């Protein structure tokens, strides 16, 4: 085979060594800092005319770039037009009549009751007790403090979910039916805070269904 000239060998070696220069520069750029911006070959939409938060904008009379939402604007999927599902009232009554049953979109099955039992134990049982008699640990502790005659201490016992006839959800004459219980879970009542931020709509109805099952279990034969 013909002998490769020496200058060709030298050129190949020089090219190989030069090929490492970009890699070295890239490696150095990854660990070094500089006040100058990096080289931006493909800009795409990284640099565009826009207003940043709290910037001024002379286009509007108040000079603010940030605009308030249009009055009455509702986010997509947040219309909540179903009064029964979202407010616990009978549709068409202008939210003046509590619904006596769960919404048609809520299927009462074993899975729903298990979910309701879990959510009830987390959010409701501390005051109302696991069996719903209003004897949860928060109530017992409050009674201890009252008995110790703490200055200014007063306590209103949590509702017993079995003793108030108006709260028996299976009763056709209950003045506080399922929709009312959902409303109280959502918005609170007296010293009880609302749980709409902690419990989803579906889980609130699951709790209502579980409370109804809990009430029925108290009257079941041994």
Residue 39 lies in a domain: no
Q: C-alpha distances in angstroms, 156 versus 53, 111, 128?
A: 47, 34, 12
Name the residue with higher pLDDT: 219 or 130. Answer: 130
With tokens 């640099």, the residue in question is 47
Residue 44 lies in a domain: no
Rounded-to-integer distance, Cα 173 and Cα 93, Å: 18
Mean pLDDT is highest, among 20-34, 42-56, 118-132, 161-175, for 118-132
Residue 23 lies in a domain: no
Is 71's pLDDT higher than 60?
yes
- Residue 178, Cβ density class (10 Å: 0-12 exposed, 13-18 middle, ≥19 buried): buried
The structure tokens listed for 187 are 């918005």
Range of the domain at 89: 84-218
Task: Give the residue from 100, 162, 102, 155 showing the smallest Cα distance to 128.
Answer: 162
Name the residue with higher pLDDT: 18 or 221. Answer: 18
To the question of pTM greater than 0.75 for the whole model, the response is no
| pLDDT value for 1 | 63
Residue 155 lies in a domain: yes
Residue 71 lies in a domain: no
Domain count, the chain: 1
| CATH code for position 127 | 1.10.760.10
Write down the H helix ranges in 52-108: 83-87
Residue 18 lies in a domain: no
Residue 58 lies in a domain: no
DSSP for residue 166? G
Encode pLDDT of 14-58 as tens digits: 999 999 999 998 898 888 888 888 778 888 888 888 899 999 999
The proportion of the chain whose per-residue pLDDT surpasses 90, expressed as a percent, equals 62
- What is the CA 130 to chain-centroid distance, rounded? 25
The structure tokens listed for 172 are 């056709």
Residue 125 lies in a domain: yes
> Degrees (nearest 5) of the Cα angle 100, 108, 207?
70
């Amino acid at each position: 085979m013909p002998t490769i000239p020496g200058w060709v060998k030298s050129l190949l070696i020089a090219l190989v060594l030069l090929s490492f220069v970009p890699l070295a520069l890239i490696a150095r750029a990854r660990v070094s800092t500089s006040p100058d911006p990096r080289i931006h070959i493909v800009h795409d939409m990284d640099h565009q005319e826009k207003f940043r938060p709290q910037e001024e904008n002379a286009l509007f009379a108040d000079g603010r770039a940030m605009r308030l939402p249009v009055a009455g604007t509702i986010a997509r999927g947040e219309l909540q037009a179903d009064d029964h599902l979202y407010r616990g009232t009978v549709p068409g009554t202008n939210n003046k009549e509590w619904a006596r049953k769960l919404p048609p979109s809520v299927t009462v099955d074993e899975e729903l009751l298990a979910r309701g039992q879990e959510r009830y134990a987390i959010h409701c049982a501390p005051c109302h007790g696991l069996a719903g008699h209003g004897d949860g640990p928060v109530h017992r502790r409050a009674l201890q403090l009252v008995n110790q005659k703490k200055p200014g201490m007063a306590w209103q016992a949590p509702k017993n979910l079995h003793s108030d006839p108006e709260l028996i959800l299976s009763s056709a004459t209950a003045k506080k039916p399922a929709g009312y219980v959902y409303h109280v879970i959502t918005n609170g009542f007296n010293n009880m805070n609302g749980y709409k931020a902690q419990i989803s709509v579906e889980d609130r109805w699951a709790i209502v269904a579980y409370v109804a099952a809990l009430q029925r279990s108290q009257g079941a034969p041994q």
